[in-house]
Amino acid sequence: MNSILLAIIVFAGYYLAYHTYGKFLSRKIFKIDPTRLCPSVEFQDDTDFVPTNKHVLFGHHFTSIAGLGPIVGPAIAIIWGWVPAILWVFLGSIFMGAVHDFGSMVISLRNQGRSIGDIAAEVISPRVRNLFLIIIFFELWIVIAVFALIIALLFEMYPQAVIPVWFEIPIAIFLGHMVYNKGQSHVKWGIIAVILMYLAVIVGSLFPITLPSILGLNPLMLWIILLLAYAYIASTLPVQILLQPRDYINSHQLLIAMALMILGVIVAHPVIVAPAFNYLPTGAPPLLPFLFVVIACGAISGFHSLVSSGTSSKQCRTEKDARFIGYGGMLMEGSLSTLVIIAVGAGLGLGLLTEDGNLLTGTAAFSNHYASWAAASGLTAKLQAFVIGSANIIKVLGIPESITIAIMGVFIVSFAATTMDSATRIQRYVVTELSRAYNFKHLRGKHPATAIAIISAFFLAFYNGSGKGALTIWPLFGTVNQLLAGLALLVITIYLAKKGIRIWYSALPMIFILIMTGWAMLVNLQTYLETSNLLLFGIGLLLLLLEVWMIVETVLMLRKRNQVL
């Protein structure tokens, strides 16, 4: 299939979905009320609660939910064939992910900007709230530690990204100053900031930076320490100083990268060389249920509910912006995942240089990279497939390959950094909510709560002395993340039921994702038991039992209140 045709079908479908299904959800299900007072206005403190222009907030929201998820998931799931991957990305984002993100934001907007986990206390019960927050803390604990490691690895893979990524911080602070303190146009100064950013990309491509070992710490460990320190500072600063303007710049980076890829597809119009279906790739787990776990952020991801109800709801200035940010942000992420599928499924076919110096094209290039699950599943392999494929597509526009790789490297690292410090800020909120639930007064402050988030992530990263400690429990992340998505949909469904609103638009996605996640967890538990990995088996079993407990609590609550799904 030609990649242009695929892109046109998917993008047109997203446009129609936004203006039809998204509008229906907004008017008939969530009943958006533009006159309702939002938390950003009611509790404005110019630190966390800040009424924000919807386009600026869209930039923060999208870059926070995206991270590396919509890249690495599709880049590995295409091993089962491009048709299953694109169908899940397309249908999942419209009918599941966007409903999940939009619903989480709306419920938070109507509950003082609190997280979806904390809101579960009123919607279901305080005990369910506590269980939910514990699961959220566990997920964010992994995210902060692992993403610090991922960014450190990316700095080693793409040393040309170091200068522009760190230089983005003063650029973002300058942009925030011009917009909030000087009252200047965010469009004009946003464009200037992006130009400065790409000048830094050129400088970075000319002067790549690597760290030396210091005091027995290797470069990887040094980067992790620096990144965690940065996350602490970034997540405690007022959002308009760094978080919003930096994410606004990153959203422009995304639009530019996507525009370059779309133009490249139009010019090169590469044919998709990946197989349409490949049910039994060597060494891979079964397509069902793992397709729905491997591709998370491109279709539905529990982490999104934390952003929607954690940071974005505290900055949304009116309910009428929620569809654009929540529903539209998910469709934009689906668009990015579609381009990733095209990059690895068609772009690799334009040329892949093997380690022995041979240039492969067409099906041979794809098959070489995706020879087996083991060959394609590592982080390096996933990102290289995307970077090489997208560089092949973009270089037909006449942009030097070295600059193209630098652009894509900075793009990837910037998104990973956004996820890390947004996760740190959200973890601070979770610690505060848990402290309030258990009456730990001394942990409610901004700095004590952030310290817990960072210190716990530091110990996870360095408990084995390498900085890679989080990788020990990383295999659980996919199922935990999708479990969280199902539980967020559970809260949304009960919220709608108690309001007397039709529930099936959230209930059916909830049932589907909980079944798929539970199935995948059971398969993983069997594998962990067979391989004597008792740590993962124990944690996985505990999480599965917590899920069952929450569902049972919900059913009992509904029966008690005489509400039937």
**Secondary structure of 375-418 in HEC code, one letter for each residue:** HHCCHHHHHHHHHHHHHHHHHHHCCCHHHHHHHHHHHHHHHHHH
Which pLDDT score is estimated for 538?
Answer: 93
Give the mean pLDDT of 478-498. 92
Which pLDDT score is estimated for 377?
Answer: 65
Look at residue 541 and tell me whether its pLDDT is greater than 60: yes
In a domain, 248, yes or no: no
Sequence-ordered list of residues with C-beta below 8 angstroms from that of 92, at least 6 positions apart, any chain: 292, 295, 298, 299, 300, 334
Percent of the chain exceeding pLDDT 90 equals 54
* Longest CA span, the chain: 69
**pTM: predicted TM-score of the whole model, two decimal places:** 0.92
Any idea how long the chain is?
A: 565
What is the band of 306 on the pLDDT scale with cuts at 50, 70, 90? very high
What is the band of 564 on the pLDDT scale with cuts at 50, 70, 90? very low
Give the mean pLDDT of 544-562. 79
Residue numbers of the domain that contains 105: 3-159+218-236+271-389+401-560
In a domain, 242, yes or no: no
Percent of the chain exceeding pLDDT 70 equals 98
Give the mean pLDDT of 177-183. 89
Give the mean pLDDT of 250-261. 85
What's the Cα-to-Cα distance from 158 to each of 162, 163, 247, 286, rounded to whole Å?
A: 8, 11, 21, 33
Q: What is the pLDDT of residues 108-129, one digit of tens each?
A: 999 999 999 999 988 888 888 8
Residues 480/543, Cβ–Cβ less than 8 Å: yes
What residue type is 534 in one-letter code?
A: L
Greater model confidence, 87 or 350: 87
Q: Which two tokens stand for residue 5?
A: 């045709």
Euclidean distance between CA atoms 67 and 154, whole angstroms? 13
Which pLDDT score is estimated for 236?
Answer: 93
Prior bond of 34 cis (ω within 30°): no
Q: What is the pLDDT of residues 141-150, one digit of tens each?
A: 999 998 999 8
Q: What are phi and psi of 217, to 5 degrees?
A: -95, 125
Q: Which of 434, 436, 431 has its CA nearest to residue 447?
A: 431
Q: What is the pLDDT of residues 236-253, one digit of tens each?
A: 999 999 988 998 888 888
Give the mean pLDDT of 323-333. 96
Gyration radius of the chain over CA positions: 22
Greater model confidence, 564 or 82: 82
In a domain, 186, yes or no: no
What is the band of 381 on the pLDDT scale with cuts at 50, 70, 90? low
Residues 288/518, Cβ–Cβ less than 8 Å: no
In a domain, 198, yes or no: no
In a domain, 241, yes or no: no
The CATH number that applies at residue 346 is: 1.20.1740
Look at residue 373 and tell me whether its pLDDT is greater than 90: no
Number of domains within the chain: 1
Q: What is the pLDDT of residues 398-423, one digit of tens each?
A: 887 777 777 777 888 888 888 898 89
Which pLDDT score is estimated for 561?
Answer: 63
Average pLDDT score over the chain: 90
Look at residue 504 and tell me whether its pLDDT is greater than 60: yes
If DSSP codes are grouped into helix, strand and coil, which group holds residue 480?
helix
Which pLDDT score is estimated for 553?
Answer: 81
Q: What is the pLDDT of residues 213-239, one digit of tens each?
A: 888 889 999 999 999 999 999 999 999
Which pLDDT score is estimated for 253?
Answer: 83
What is the band of 562 on the pLDDT scale with cuts at 50, 70, 90? low
In a domain, 298, yes or no: yes
Give the mean pLDDT of 342-349. 91
Look at residue 428 and tell me whether its pLDDT is greater than 90: yes
Which pLDDT score is estimated for 565?
Answer: 44
Q: What is the pLDDT of residues 33-60, one digit of tens each?
A: 999 999 999 999 999 999 999 999 998 8
Euclidean distance between CA atoms 103 and 252, whole angstroms? 26
Q: What is the pLDDT of residues 187-209, one digit of tens each?
A: 899 899 999 998 998 898 888 89
In a domain, 326, yes or no: yes
Q: Which of 233, 220, 73, 72 has its CA nearest to residue 159?
A: 220
In a domain, 254, yes or no: no
